Structure 1
Amino acid sequence: MKNILNYAFVLISMMTIASCDRYEDLKVSQPDFDVYTLSDTYNVGDTIRFILEGKADVITFYSGEVGDLQLSFASQVRFGSQENQLRVMASSDFKGNYTEAGINTATWHDITDRFLLGINTTLRPSGTASITDLVIEGHPLYIAFRYVGEASATATQRNWWVNHFKVDVALPGSVSNVALHTSVDWKFVNFAGNATGAGWGWSADGPGGRLLFDPAGSTTYAEGWAIADPIDTDALQPGGVPIKAVIDRQQKEYHYVFNQSGTYNTRFEAVNVTALEEKKATRTISITIEP
């Protein structure tokens, strides 16, 4: 019996040691990694040599470039005679409360003058305009079409159609779409004081369908908002470029070219990883690109 107990003790001890050895094998050390350049100032189009030192399992590069948020659409107008009824609005503090009160408590910026609006029954492209200046970090951006019809028995209210709504992020060498007219879940807020039937809706006619404000022959004040899905402004930050995977050999250099002037806070993230844990080291270099 004593021999059996001794054997069991030895076996358990061996299993414990083996388990500890396996755990030690899965422990991660902090990446021994650094990066530098030969200068902190370059010209547009120069090839920048980032010199990499040390070792890491995975290395990812972030250029520090920020995308340009761009909006475009098309519109047309019919009937009536009132002017300046359609406005393009933007907000970074709207809370998604799709009511008159929710709209009125938010801060909205009128950006209509950045676009061309329809002048007759021909669908008129708005042109593409940057809306990056409206972005507040950490806040989604809401874009809306606001219709205001004034009370009048002589200057009649007009019907407006909006189509081809599109929001893109333009980065050097690439453009990616973040909102498209046909996939947006439009929210309509037609004010309670509107005449019966006056307000925004979705019209199935036209290419892919379109937004329509129908004043329903109103001679009293009418207001309505068509609000697009919030734009995730994190889309302005491009994803990192993987420059080394676990199975890759360690690189000595990484090359990159900036095509626009400015100051960029480039970042390298070096990670050592196992099935149990990971440890990360981040190195940042500020690069000034001159014209």
Structure 2
Amino acid sequence: MKRVLNLLFVCFSIALYTSCQDEYEIEEPILSISGYTIEEVDTGEGIVKRVTFNFEEESDIISFYSGEEGAEFKYKDGKVARIESLDFSFMSRCGFGDQDPLSQFSVVVSPDFNGTYDQENIHSATWIDITDRFDFTKLSVTNANYDPSGIVSLQDLMDTYGSFHLAFRYITPNQYENGVYAAIRLQQWKLMSETNLFGQAEVNLDLGLVEIGNYRSGRNSISSSTITLRGNHGNFSTTNEQEIEWLKATTEAWVISQKIEKEIDLGIDTSLPIKGVGDPKMFSFVHEYKEPGEYEVTFLAANANIHNYKKTYQTLKITIP
């Protein structure tokens, strides 16, 4: 009798388990896009192209990826822009002073500067001198013209370090011993990048100025068009102790960019929910495009409960004239 009871218990358990499985079983969603039409519409705020997508569906949930920026199905799990080329250029001039301009002025990059713009943190960082990559053959104290310093690739540094700060460094030693500072001015600085996602674009350097040492006020500056780098000025015959100290002082002016990174995480692209559980069956969906071009449109259909999830999707390319 005990054996019979055990057998009945096993059969009951199997039946109960099977019943629960059946309760949470879901069907495969059905989605079939039959085509689309385009209509030009004046919304009162401008002309848009209204696209009507026609389809057959049997599903609980439908999401729509329009193919516009920020709504592309291929980036649903994330999007990373990677710099594949990086070129830096600027115009430079001197035209004043006694010292060799290149004994004072240099172009440097740091892979480990922490972004705190003060003497301690600048001096504790590693700075790699890349001045010799640029063309300064015309940079002299006798030439007051702005001349191009070349278009220089920094991609090897980006590939090696993954990120860095770019800087102009200007150091003026004791002018009684070394002569009058060589004034440096820069214009038309431009860092151009090309990424896997967006093609070529200018990088925002967001330059910051740091002065180190006993500087007179107003010696260095960054404007929208010109970077000015100078030492202290003064009368070398003066007996004024303050002015003597200014001319004796070793000073540094740093113009440092924000961190430039090889990879920029742009996050995930998102869909537009167009049908939820309990909503009526859909036969079409309308979306308005503001810009012409080719778009890869994706409809994602799914059936789901707390234990199961089944999905299907269809993608089509459309051309908006």
TM-score normalised by the shorter chain: which range applies? 0.5 to 0.7
Q: Which residue of 2 aligns with 1:197?
A: 217
Contact 1:185 1:229 in 2 (8 A): yes
Structure 2 distance, partners of 1:170, 1:234, is 12
Counterparts in 2 of 1:227 and 1:151: CA distance versus 1, 3 Å:
same
Q: Which residue of 1 aligns with 2:69?
A: none
Structure 2 distance, partners of 1:128, 1:101, is 32
Deviation of the 1:220 alpha carbon: 2.8
Matched, 1:73 2:54: no
Contact 1:215 1:222 in 2 (8 A): yes
Counterparts in 2 of 1:24 and 1:139: CA distance versus 1, 3 Å:
same
3-state SS, counterpart of residue 122 of structure 2: helix
1:92-241 correspondence to structure 2 within 5 Å: 92-117=111-136, 118-119=139-140, 120-135=143-158, 139-153=162-176, 155-170=179-194, 174-179=199-204, 184-191=205-212, 193-197=213-217, 199-203=219-223, 208-217=224-233, 218-234=247-263
Structure 2 distance, partners of 1:278, 1:244, is 23
Choose from 107, 110, 120 the match for 1:91.
Answer: 110
Amino acid at match of 2:89: S
What CA deviation, in whole Å up to 9, does each residue of 1:120-164 have, x standing for no partner? 211111111111111268853211100011213252112111111
Gaps of 5+ in 1: 1-16, 29-56, 248-271, 281-291
Gaps of 5+ in 2: 1-22, 30-57, 64-71, 234-246, 270-293, 313-321
Contact 2:86 2:194 in 1 (8 A): yes
Contact 1:58 1:246 in 2 (8 A): yes
Choose from 230, 246, 259 the match for 2:298.
Answer: 246
3-state SS, counterpart of residue 229 of structure 1: coil
Q: Normalising to structure 1: TM-score of the pair?
A: 0.55
Q: Mean alpha-carbon deviation: is it higher for 132-141 or for 143-152?
A: 132-141
Structure 1 distance, partners of 2:227, 2:112, is 24
Deviation of the 1:105 alpha carbon: 1.4
3-state SS, counterpart of residue 94 of structure 1: coil
Counterparts in 2 of 1:190 and 1:59: CA distance versus 1, 3 Å:
closer
Contact 2:86 2:153 in 1 (8 A): yes
What CA deviation, in whole Å up to 9, does each residue of 1:92-121 have, x standing for no partner? 211111001111111111111111233321
Bigger Cα Rg: 2
Deviation of the 1:170 alpha carbon: 3.5
Deviation of the 1:213 alpha carbon: 1.2
Structure 2 distance, partners of 1:115, 1:127, is 6
